Amino acid sequence: MLLDHYVSAMPCWKGRVDSDSDYDAFRWHQWVQPLDLNDGGAPFDGALGFAFVGFCSDKGVARNKGRTGTALAPDFVRGQMSNLPCTFSQEVKLFDAGDIVCDEISLEEGQRELGLAVEEILRRRLFPIVLGGGHETTFGHFQGQHNYLKDKGRTPELGIVNFDAHFDLRPYDMGNSSGTMFRQMADMCRAEGTPYHYFPIGIQQHSNTVSLFKKARELGVDYVLAKEIQGSNMESILERMDTFLYRCRDAYITVCTDVFSSAFAPGVSAPQSLGLDPEVVLPLLKHVLRTRKVRGFDICEYYRHSSVLADGHAEFRGAVDVADDIAEHAAAQFAFLALNAARDALAHSAGELQVSLLAQLCDGFGYG
């Protein structure tokens, strides 16, 4: 396999060093190893490994008339993740597989290359964590997961769990965008005769047209409205989630950061003042991971505007930069929690790690 628009992102991993030898004092930037997807390397033979890959694109967002800036986000989020503490066993390995850069290629070609990258990460027995990029990222991720299963001789029965304020089921007669992916997936599955399983969580009624609700019903999509996600309804929501996941042999999780309240994620394309609290989303995420069916995770649509002047000096853009910083930090923290949750859910099945999921989630929010 040869990825043509692919660059290393290792220079992003840098930060504070409290010790060069005491693992308990290590931060992520000291533990991440480079991974070259073009070198034909052998599969990972350790206990559990995660591989980050960035998708540097906001072409889909631009087509969708949204706020651009997501193409710059993966490397800034790596910067936010660099100083996160290594709260996991040394058996867990972190790799960075670089970025797919879409500056000089079409969105469709970029999604194809991302799919190839995800396939290669899976071939190497690693768990992909894809850093968007606009939410068009997830179509590339889906292609990689779908095609990998086909190449293994399995009928893809992939459940898509989408934490999002939007259905993203729009028509794409005029081209793909960050609002069309799940309709593209439905059409792809229908053309191949494979099941289409889609479960969006956090849907906002004011952010989706009547036509999109009708399309969801036409496709047999169960969905959870943001306003339904309350403590008193949680048991019912988990039961619906279980019903959905029971039908799926495998699953992957995608998070569009506009699902969160603008108090936590203001630097997104469509800020949601009535969005969800991350602490409400985490138990749902944890529940999906406990099924041990999850094969990958992506987080998308957090923004970084270029604030570098022609002379190379940074320009502070006031509220815009502050909002972007908050969104990037939230994305980094959520990636941290997702990685720890996935680590525990996956490793627990093999009896390799003993740290409880709840403790890790609490540690991630500073409650441990």
What SS3 state is found at 202?
A: strand
CA dist., res. 291 & res. 301, Å (int): 26
Tens of pLDDT along the chain (368 residues)?
567 888 999 999 999 999 999 999 999 999 999 999 999 899 999 888 899 999 999 887 888 877 777 888 898 888 888 888 888 889 889 999 999 999 999 999 999 999 999 999 999 999 999 999 899 999 999 999 999 999 999 989 999 999 999 999 999 988 888 899 999 999 999 999 999 999 999 999 999 999 999 999 999 999 999 999 977 789 999 999 999 999 999 999 999 988 988 877 777 777 787 889 888 888 898 888 888 899 999 988 877 654 433 333 333 333 334 344 544 555 555 566 666 655 555 544 332 222 233 233 333 333 23
> pTM of the entire structure?
0.86
Are residues 52 and 97 in contact, defined by beta-carbon separation less than 8 angstroms? yes
Are residues 312 and 64 in contact, defined by beta-carbon separation less than 8 angstroms? no
6-364 belongs to which CATH class? alpha beta
pLDDT at position 9: 93
What phi-psi label fits residue 98: left (phi over 0), alpha (psi between -120 and 50 degrees) or beta?
Answer: left
Separation in Å, CA 291 to CA 145, 243, 281, 287, 294: 18, 12, 16, 7, 7
pLDDT at position 324: 45
130: Cβ contacts below 8 Å, ≥ 6 apart: 52, 53, 54, 55, 114, 118, 137, 138, 140, 141, 296, 297, 298, 299
Copy the structure tokens of residue 166.
């939007």
Are residues 142 and 158 in contact, defined by beta-carbon separation less than 8 angstroms? yes
pLDDT at position 339: 64
Copy the structure tokens of residue 25.
């004092």
pLDDT at position 290: 84
Where along the chain do its domains lie? 6-364
Q: How many Å is the Cα radius of gyration of the chain?
A: 19
pLDDT at position 60: 78
pLDDT at position 357: 30
CA dist., res. 147 & res. 150, Å (int): 5
Say how many C-beta atoms besides its own lie within 10 A of residue 248's C-beta.
19
pLDDT at position 96: 97
